[in-house]
Amino acid sequence: MKITLAYNLRTENTEEQAELLTQEDVDRIHNALLELKHQITLVEVSGKPDEVVERLAGSTPDLIFNVAEGTVGSSREAFYPALYEQLGIPFTGGNAALLHMNLDKHLAKIVVAERGIKVPKGILVTKQVKKFKTDLNFPLMIKPNSEGSSKGITQKSIVETAEEAVETINDLLIKFPLGLIVEEFINGKEISVPFIESYPGKLLESVEHTFDLEKLNLKYNVYDYFMKQGGESSKYVYVHCPPSLNEKDNKKIKTFARKVFSIMQCPDFGRVDLRLSNDGTAYFIELNPLPSLHPNASLMTAARKHGLSYTEVIRLIIRSAAKRYNLAIRKPKIIQISETEDKYKQRPTIRELGVRIGRFQPGINNAITDVKGIKVGHFTNIKNNVKIPGIQGTSSIRTGVTAILPSGGDIFTKRLVAGGYVLNGIGEMAGLTQVLEWGWLETPILLTNSHSIGKVHSGVISYMYDKYPSLGTKTDVILPVVGETDDSFLNDVRIGTNSSQEAIKAITSAKIGPIKQGSVGAGTGMVTCDFAGGIGTSSRIINFDEKYFTIGVLVLSNFGKMRNLTIDGAVVGRELDSSFAIDSRRRKNYGSIIVVIATDVPFTSNQLCRISKRSALGIGRIGSYAASTSGEIIIAFSTANRLLRTSEKPDKFLSLKFISDIYIDPFYEAVIEATEEAILNAIFCSNGMEGRENRYAPPVPQENVLELLSGRKILNVSN
């Protein structure tokens, strides 16, 4: 995407320019945008408006990443969004009305107070009206009405008498003639609640600032200008994320912040600042729809708590804006294969191409790794001209191993609740019978091809021996979970089996975050609906009981016929079928699929078995009829409940917290959506795969599919 970074550059270290960006700030955002592979133009928007317009229009962006704070007047922040709107250029962040209202802090408080939000009692004082109500209770906070970055706020901003108030008002009006807020000071906690619209749940963790008042020789905890600018007093300011709040107060401020954001309709990102009084009452202080993106600012501090990197935050802001303006983050085109290009390079997912499956929002990675603690690793084995043991001639290897590590792999000492379902059993998942009998999962889950189960099984045991030396001696033995599908159409299984060492490589390479999809790992030689592609993943976020839960799905997909391929209800396979040669397809084998479901929802084993059954409906949505020669095997686990492995005095009674069946339906719907999208990603992310005997599984023709879908529905962009 072509993105213009619009900003005002800080040219001197003065209070007047405190809100503007330093060159270091600009470079940091610029580097993040480059890391995201966007085409970037930098436009400094200070100066004459006609020249600014020329620079912006000349950059011809798809999107403006706006961090311009403005330099003149009470509408300075609003000027730039208004300009972008007149130029017809999409931009990140709030519009002119939102930015104008929230720079006028007194006006913002009037608006939210009308909607039932508690605000400190106070008034606006200007040069024309210098008097203030005598019924305000001291101490009072006096600060500029239309400034940010704590400009004009010092320890003298807290006054305890009318005489002090008059003196402070007269002094501040000289420097800040746009007016002052005079309001009752709320003695309590200083809390910020950052917000990223495209982050699941939207609100990030709250941030609290505390102050060592004794060392600062102060009476009131006020986050003043000198503290924010790194002065000597900043050494005694401490940041807590999450804040030191009890569960009741934490829930209270999150509910408070959500209500503020719903009133203000702040898009993409923002921050609510509030004071939590000593009696537990929350007071609105301000909303910042253009918060600082400095690494030490509240937004980035909270983002790190959620495992988000700086670049990831920038990506989420762009994703949110792209969704609002219906902008495609990647162009929906087929990557052409050339001799100089990696022909196994992953292509865009179906969602990145604009097709949105279902109604629930995906997680940040749209992957099983959106469930906290889940790691995934691949070992991919692609070789040509390999000698066939005991036979003259050579052949090709197209296979691999994929490892799913629940809770980072530590499930031997802390077993997870698990369940599963077998729709059709012409396939294998070693260890599933124990999972179904006990309802617990205690090993990583490995995926591979049909003839590699034994060696991969041995690899898991070797890995577990190294990690838990007492295994099988002081503790009982384990039965690893290893699932398979048949890749023999492209992979010569006489030579292309995976070793125990390669299984260990897949396990040790596992990591959180985005997952490689398509013809990779265990999916290297797999075929889905006559197109290449085996590994796919997707996730869904569900809002339940004022909390956000995640269901993630990973598939090893290797089933189906092209004629049945169905995408979001449209049987596109009917039109595609006649365009591809019948003789070159896999005809004797319908194939199979393994589905792995992870969630942080507190489910029982029985509920996870029922969740697994609904996942089978997602397979059906793609066009599967579960042929008699196929295996559709599903395993599911929850990270919400753990069973400690103990050899001495085990508990006689166990307690599990789980949701009521009355409320389970949205989770059924979510897992169906995630399964459907995961299978489609397995196909869409593959660039095609050639194999033994010059066989070839083509890549799905993305452009043709999008044309077929566009005739049936309007495409939307998400994720």
Tell me the residue length of the chain: 719
Closest CA to 618 of 572, 546, 676: 676
Q: Are strands 375-387 and 527-528 parallel, antiparallel or unpaired?
A: unpaired
Q: Using an 8 Å Cβ cutoff, are 241 and 205 in contact?
A: yes
Structural tokens at position 248: 């009741």
Q: Distance between CA atoms of 41 and 29, rounded to whole angstroms?
A: 12
- Give residue for tokens 């002119």: 96
Going through 530-662 in order, the beta strands assigned E by DSSP cover 531-532, 535-544, 547-559, 591-599, 631-644
Q: Distance between CA atoms of 12 and 15, rounded to whole angstroms?
A: 9
Instruction: Write down the catalytic residue from 592, 615, 624, 686.
Output: 592
Structure letter (DSSP) for residue 499: P
- The Cα angle at residue 76 between residues 74 and 82, in degrees rounded to 5: 120
Q: Is 371 exposed, middle or buried, given 0-12, 13-18 or 19+ CB atoms closer than 10 A?
A: buried
Q: What does the DSSP assignment read for 383-417?
A: EEEEEPTTSSSEEEEEEEEEEEEGGGG--SSEEEE
Closest CA to 457 of 478, 436, 474, 440: 478
| Beta-carbon count within 10 A of 646 CB | 10
User: Is 44 one of the annotated active-site residues of the chain?
Assistant: no
| Beta-carbon count within 10 A of 497 CB | 21
| Beta-carbon count within 10 A of 514 CB | 15
Instruction: Write down the catalytic residue from 198, 630, 686, 718.
Output: 630
- Give residue for tokens 């995640």: 550
Q: Using an 8 Å Cβ cutoff, are 484 and 498 in contact?
A: no
Q: How many CA atoms lie within 13 A of 599 on its CB side?
A: 31
Q: Using an 8 Å Cβ cutoff, are 685 and 533 in contact?
A: yes
Report the Cα 594 to chain-centroid distance in Å: 25
Q: Distance between CA atoms of 592 and 584, rounded to whole angstroms?
A: 19
Stretch (H or E) spanning 571? none
Q: 531 - beta bridge partners? A: 528
Instruction: Write down the catalytic residue from 147, 632, 669, 673.
Output: 632
- First-to-last CA distance in the chain? 15
Structural tokens at position 257: 């912040």
Q: Distance between CA atoms of 199 and 341, rounded to whole angstroms?
A: 34
- Give residue for tokens 């954001």: 261
Closest CA to 526 of 395, 697, 397: 697
Q: Distance between CA atoms of 446 and 505, rounded to whole angstroms?
A: 11
Structural tokens at position 43: 């436009």
Give the three-state DSSP class for 691: coil
Structural tokens at position 462: 């070797």
Closest CA to 525 of 284, 696, 299: 696
User: Is 660 one of the annotated active-site residues of the chain?
Assistant: no
User: Is 630 one of the annotated active-site residues of the chain?
Assistant: yes
Give the residue numbers annotated as catalytic, written as ranges: 592, 630, 632
